[in-house]
Structure 1
Amino acid sequence: MSVPARLTPSPLLLAALFCAAGVLHFLKPEVFDRIVPPATPLSPRAATLLSGVAELAGGLGLLHPATRPAARWGLLALLLAVYPANLYMAQAPDKFGVPAWVAWARLPLQPLLMWWVWTAGRRR
């Protein structure tokens, strides 16, 4: 009989972060709609809702070892897909009501978040 994998703090915390962000996409979609770059092939609302669903699915997927690898790849793809929104915000932070240093500070945090997803998303 095999021992079930234990949920460690790292994937649990990351799952909470992505699930909370996903829920916010549905509670406050207008905040996320505004940062969708104009060149995005979807409407801002469709992009917001789709990314919210992806965040929820990825976050929940991190909670079980069997789904953790798929969640890892999905969240990595999501983080790559939303990076242009972070760049868009950094180019015109006043348009989004954030200080320039905050918008620019978010950019290097994205690769750190990707690293965290990569490491926490391993099956254990």
Structure 2
Amino acid sequence: MLRQILRYVLAGLYFLAGILHLVTPAPFLTITPGWVPFPGAVIALTGIAELLGAAGLAQGASLQLRRAAAIGLALYAVCVFPANINHFIQDMARPDHGLGLAYHVPRMFVQPLLVWLALWTGGVTDWPFCVRKR
């Protein structure tokens, strides 16, 4: 039951993030690393990826589709991690330190948690709740 609730919560968060990427891309463009080609298109595609991942994760009929969406969202969270690092660096370089360490340090730890949460809620892994019998 907890897994299902968190699956819907995570899908909802990714859905909102996807909408934000498409409707207000400017904040995401400012934290996109300079080496990312065609940043506007990349931001739009990330929004679409979030929406598709959310839809796949939220549906209940096909375990295969849900697992594929979970893997996609986990990979997505890994791929956008450089933007989080870039945002951290940009903020810390500002005289006022932007959002500060109290925001950025927890954010760095949340990203791997999002990877795991997508995989767990999508039914890809049971770790660490599974116990193997030998």
Q: TM-score range by the shorter chain?
A: 0.7 to 0.9
The ranges of structure 1 where at least 4 consecutive aligned residues each deviate by more than 3 angstroms after the TM superposition are 94-97
CA contact (8 A) 1:32 1:48 kept: yes
Which runs of 5 or more structure 1 residues have no equivalent in the other structure?
Answer: 1-6
- Paired residue for 2:107? 106
- Paired residue for 1:3? none
Letter in 1 for 2:5: P
- Paired residue for 2:41? 46
CA contact (8 A) 1:34 1:44 kept: no
CA contact (8 A) 1:58 1:74 kept: yes
The CA deviation at 1:43 is 1.7
The CA deviation at 1:105 is 2.2
Which runs of 5 or more structure 2 residues have no equivalent in the other structure?
Answer: 125-134
Letter in 1 for 2:21: H
Task: Compute the TM-score of the two structures, normalised by the length of structure 1.
Answer: 0.85
Root-mean-square deviation (CA, aligned residues, Å) is 1.9
Q: Aligned partners of 1:118 and 1:44: how far apart in 2?
A: 27
Q: Aligned partners of 1:99 and 1:108: how far apart in 2?
A: 15
CA contact (8 A) 2:74 2:114 kept: no
Q: Aligned partners of 2:91 and 2:102: how far apart in 1?
A: 9
Per-residue CA distance 1:24-75 (angstroms, 9 max, x = gap): 01121001111110011x2221111111011000001011241201101110
Structure 1 residue 29 corresponds to structure 2 residue 7? no
Larger radius of gyration: 2
Figure out how many residues of one structure are paired with residues of the other and give that number. 116
- Paired residue for 2:11? 15
